[in-house]
Structure 1
Amino acid sequence: MSVIRWGIVGCGNVTEVKSGPGFQQAEGSELVAVMRRNGELAADYARRHGVGKWYDDADALIGDADVDAVYVATPPSTHKAYALAAAKAGKPVYVEKPMALHAGECREMIEACEAAGVPLFVAYYRRALPRFLKVKQLLEMGAIGEIRFVTTVHTKKLTEDPANLPWRVLPELSGGGHFFDLASHTLDLLDFLLGPIRDAAGRAGNQGKAYPAEDVVSGTYVFESGVQGIGIWCFTAYQGGEINEIVGSRGKLTFSTFGSEPIRLTTSDGIGDYSLEQPAHIQQPLIQTIVNELLGRGSCPSTGASALRTAVVMDELVKLRSL
């Protein structure tokens, strides 16, 4: 096999720019089919993106002999079902993040893929972006000395209309609120940069009462290396912003998970900034690592196993709730 032929289950907004074109532009990759429950929207997507086939039934796409691997881009509530269907069909599966509604579902997905002998990948694409590979390089070369602790502060204004709530703040569809949608990226990134978290504890609350999910989460965690961490996520604040700071024995690194401002290295020698452009299709670098692994040319850094660790941490951080 020289080309991986992809099918997308759920060709919604995330696939328009972030991911869909990445399957077409990655080397050794081709997007051959898309599916959406609304057939007219699926056909429109296929026409606009030059995709040969479209479906309004997920099982039909998964069973298509021309589809080698399946990308699940639906809300988390259906990730497990589609991943299990792909595994049963003997096809590698790439699912959006968060991986599922909770860690228990993640484990079921991993077990099903292992039993079927197919790989499972998860769309924590920051693991492959040049911006965060630079942060990892600086840490590994000892730019800030021995790593001591990391802090995260992430705020967002309340903008939801209670009469028309998006699926991202409905726990039955997303697993939680913006914490599950956004903080999962940061927590997975910290796993990538600093290693696995060995234990975590937190509190979740609903201060704004605008939707049923948590809108504030605070937590502490300790990495297997002994590095300690603390985070606060509030989605009903007066303004939005987010920053991560990794502090070491000789300096610190400051950067955002979602922004594009320079990475800042601060030491006693002064301040240095590192600017790296984001790719036009943000998931393409990770997609390339998946294609490379499927073709036997490399490995992908974001797997079901690594995403499960992030799911476990998120579950622990919201275990104590005052909603």
Structure 2
Amino acid sequence: MVRTVLRRWTDSSALTLGVLGVGNIGMVHLKSALSMPEVTVPAAADAVPENRDRAESAGVARTYDDYATLLEHEDDLDAVVVALPPFLHADAVEEAAAHGVDVFVEKPLARSVEEAEEMLETAEEAGIAVGVDHTLRYQPDMAGVKEAYQDGSVGHVPYASITRLNDHPLGKPPADEAPPEWPMDPDAAGGGSLVELGVHCFDVLEWLFGDLEVVDATMGKSLDIPAEDAATVMLRAPETDTTITLHCGTYQWEQLPEVNTRLRLEGVTGTISNKDHMPGNFYAGAATSALTNVVNRFTGGETDVFGPTFYLQAHYDALEDFCEAIREGETPPVDGRDGLRTLELTETAYELAAESESEGDGESEDEAADATLETPEVTT
């Protein structure tokens, strides 16, 4: 029988969570959940044996090689984290809905607007909640920008820019090992850099400025790959009359930058930058923090698992907010509609980029034809 959101919390405030997919980001979610005081994680699923071994070493009692099998056998789950490749998100949400289990889905929510809408319809019919892991708004530097913007000290902001970069799935050159196939396949991933990184930017920009309109977009490739590894999008925020440029890219660097997202608001009386709100030495003290956490687990002290790395802390905070909303029977603060909205903006950007490219090709052909017609005949 499908359970509803209001079915639980009769005699305990603990939330039982499963993790579907314990690769890179899945392990982040798993370790986050394991460190939360009112969350238990009895099971995880992954098709890769090494990933299941890591999950067991982290403290999960049971692992499965298939997420559908986990959902079938784990009867007491309240929610699951869907940290699978995007092409599996829809099926995983459908399986969770069939068991009345709420879902926290890694971004992007889906590979397309149509797929996302079908997922949300399935969730609504089953009475389950959908949360999405859009974490930029949870980073302290972004929260600092929003606070500074809302206090009005820089006045009207006619222009803003955001850049988000990351390393390419191929890794730094030379690429010694082949990456997983799905990140290089736009059909499996939903696209390239704009889906991988741009959806985060769309989310945080609407969090700041309200609804956005996509004005123009271009896509680029620095490598011979199936999907774009760079995207530039021009946006407008009608509510605040702000023009925004967004650039995202996955590049094959030798060395990653310490901070991979830059946000800058150009106000009429001043400028706000996320650089001004970064925590000091945010990578420092990792070893000390790790040692402290080991001691705290034995003494019952409070853990700070992701203290040294604010990127991971943001994932922790996003999942914690989701769990708290589910515990209280409320809509997750970043829900499925937010995830759908980022995909709507993404698809519009892809469409405009394709139109521009098509028009550019057409103009080149016309210009070539005109040049042929205008070339004078040479006689000898």
TM-score (norm 1): 0.84
Please report how far the alpha carbon of residue 201 of structure 1 lies from its aligned counterpart in structure 2 after TM superposition. 3.6
CA contact (8 A) 2:201 2:246 kept: no
Structure 2 unmatched ranges of 5 or more: 1-8, 283-305, 359-380
Give the fraction of aligned pairs with identical amino acids, expressed as a percent: 23
Bigger mean CA offset, 84-93 vs 175-184: 175-184
SS at match of 1:250: coil
CA deviation string 1:221-263 (max 9, x = no partner): 12241322122334459897652211222212112xxxxx543
Please report how far the alpha carbon of residue 101 of structure 1 lies from its aligned counterpart in structure 2 after TM superposition. 0.7
User: 2: distance between equivalents of 1:135 and 1:275?
Assistant: 16
Is 1:44 aligned with 2:56?
no
Change (3 A) 1:302 1:32: same
Higher share of residues assigned helix: 2
Please report how far the alpha carbon of residue 23 of structure 1 lies from its aligned counterpart in structure 2 after TM superposition. 0.8
CA contact (8 A) 1:162 1:211 kept: no
Please report how far the alpha carbon of residue 70 of structure 1 lies from its aligned counterpart in structure 2 after TM superposition. 1.0
RMSD: 2.7
Which structure has more relative contact order (CA 8 Å, sep 6+)? It is 1
Mapping of residues 294-309 of structure 1, within 5 Å: 294-296=326-328, 300-309=332-341
CA deviation string 1:160-185 (max 9, x = no partner): 35993543232022111222112222
Say which of 62, 68, 82 aligns to 1:59. Answer: 68
User: 2: distance between equivalents of 1:308 and 1:66?
Assistant: 29
Change (3 A) 1:132 1:209: closer
Is 1:208 aligned with 2:227?
no
Please report how far the alpha carbon of residue 196 of structure 1 lies from its aligned counterpart in structure 2 after TM superposition. 2.3
CA deviation string 1:166-209 (max 9, x = no partner): 43232022111222112222221112222221x21433434334
Say which of 171, 177, 182 aligns to 2:197. Answer: 182
Q: Which amino acid aligns with 2:345?
A: V
- Larger Cα-atom Rg: 2
Number of residues of Structure 1 aligned to a counterpart in Structure 2: 306
2:93 match = 83
User: 2: distance between equivalents of 1:102 and 1:181?
Assistant: 13
User: 2: distance between equivalents of 1:60 and 1:155?
Assistant: 36
CA contact (8 A) 1:157 1:236 kept: yes
CA contact (8 A) 1:3 1:30 kept: yes
CA contact (8 A) 1:155 1:235 kept: yes
2:140 match = 130
2:129 match = 119
Mapping of residues 80-229 of structure 1, within 5 Å: 80-154=90-164, 160=170, 161=175, 164-166=178-180, 167-197=182-212, 199-225=213-239, 226-229=241-244
SS at match of 1:146: coil
CA contact (8 A) 1:217 1:232 kept: yes
Change (3 A) 1:92 1:244: same
Change (3 A) 1:196 1:276: farther
Change (3 A) 1:205 1:4: same
Structure 1 unmatched ranges of 5 or more: 256-260, 264-272
Bigger mean CA offset, 181-190 vs 5-14: 181-190
Please report how far the alpha carbon of residue 119 of structure 1 lies from its aligned counterpart in structure 2 after TM superposition. 0.7
User: 2: distance between equivalents of 1:12 and 1:234?
Assistant: 22
1:266 match = none
User: 1: distance between equivalents of 2:31 and 2:250?
Assistant: 31
Change (3 A) 1:159 1:126: closer
1:232 match = 247
Q: Which amino acid aligns with 2:233?
A: G
2:263 match = 244
TM-score (norm 2): 0.73
CA contact (8 A) 1:33 1:67 kept: no
User: 2: distance between equivalents of 1:155 and 1:15?
Assistant: 21
